[in-house]
Structure 1
């Protein structure tokens, strides 16, 4: 299961990037399902994650990276900022060792755990970005299935870490709706 997350991340980066490029010029300040973030804030979050990724994948300690990616990392051109960060991150995932240790804010874990989290983050935030900017909300079925299995197994931990809001109840059998609802979003 986790090796496939590593293989799925480059395409997930590409799908998120397509949504970034598709944001209409007048929608960057619109709200997203992530209640604290506008469209621009959401893209800033993902740019920051993908600026960090090469350091994490290289095994650098967090202290060495410091706070250089805190705050506004998209500047005046969120699309260009995304393209630069995504290109650097995307290039490294296919060759990453799934068993290799990486240091995250909550401890050292096997890279496969980081890959799982990144795939879910890219997938759910792709939906958030699409919803917030008025784009097609369709998600890749394989990424949704993978993300749903991972989220089901880890949702309580995510809530405890403050990574996601509590699940929104749903009776839908649609895997995308289940994943989005499980990650605390109203569909």
Structure 2
């Protein structure tokens, strides 16, 4: 299996290509994420990326919130995505970053686990965005397989978190992308 840093790069690219494909009249199109349109979905991923540099530097949630509150606003969501994603990726590439501990809303965890969470989030939301703006929904098969493998042992935790819709049953012979999306409550 590919290394998680490489998978993260792939997931970031999957989301990025779709953000750049958003037409001006699509920002308020619905997505598979209940109550989120395209703008809300991209805003969610921007916010997630903005946290990364602070959390990887050891900030607690309140410290990161305070630092983020002092940052100037972006002119638009595309710029916000580009800047935030670039800064997050740079932070992930810091030497020995995966050996660190990060402070998340649910407690301390390893940076490696946090990176897997971010990779899974980017992957699933890349599909959500593709569906919302009606572009190619096919995701990198190696990325999908790896995120599926990482997610399977965490199905109960994902459902209990309340952050995802309940898993949807699919046939045993469904392809990896269908199975992954079903784990996160997406009906393909």
What TM-score comes out, normalization by structure 2 length?
A: 0.90
What whole-Å deviation, never above 9, does each CA across 1:80-116 have from its counterpart, x for those lacking one?
1100101101112123532311111000011111011
- C-alpha distance in structure 1 between counterparts of 2:178 and 2:10, whole Å: 21
Match of residue 179 from structure 1: 180
Counterpart residue number, 1:80: 79
Across the aligned residues of Structure 1 and Structure 2, the Cα RMSD in angstroms comes to 2.0
What runs of 5+ residues in structure 2 fail to find an aligned partner? none
- Aligned equivalents of 2:100, 2:17: Cα separation in 1: 30
Aligned to 2:157: 157
User: Quick check: 2:10–2:143 contact (8 Å CA) kept in 1?
Assistant: no
Deviations 1:119-147 (A, max 9, x none): 10010000000001111101011110111
In the other structure, the counterpart of 2:114 is: 114
Alignment partners' CA distance in 2, 1:107 and 1:170: 33
Q: For 2:122 and 2:82, how far apart are their aligned partners in 1?
A: 14
For residues 68 and 147 of structure 2, what CA distance do their matches in structure 1 show? 26
Find the counterpart in structure 2 of residue 34 from structure 1: 33
Separation of aligned partners in 1, 2:61 and 2:53: 12
- Number of residue pairs matched by the alignment: 184
**1:31-180 pair list within 5 angstroms:** 31-66=30-65, 77-95=76-94, 96-171=96-171, 172-180=173-181
How far does the alpha carbon of each residue in 1:137-167 deviate from its partner, in whole angstroms, 9 at most, with x for none? 0101111011111221112101111121111
* Aligned mates of 1:19, 1:108 — CA distance in 2: 32
Q: Return the alpha-carbon distance in structure 1 between the equivalents of residues 161 and 15 of structure 2.
A: 24
Q: CA deviation at 1:75?
A: 6.0
SS of the residue 2:3 aligns to: helix
Give how far 1:27 is off: 0.9
1:34 Cα deviation from its structure 2 partner? 0.5
State how far apart, in whole Å, the 2-side matches of 1:151 and 1:88 are: 26
Judge conservation of contact 1:48–1:69 (CA < 8 Å) in 2: no
CA contact (8 A) 1:44 1:74 kept: no
Contact 1:74 1:82 in 2 (8 A): no
Structure 2 contact 4–115 (Cα < 8 Å) conserved: yes
Task: Confirm or deny: 8 A CA contact 1:50 1:85 kept in the other structure.
Answer: yes
Show structure 1 runs of 4+ deviating over 3 A.
67-70, 73-76
Cα distance, 1:67–1:134 mapped onto 2, change above 3 Å? farther
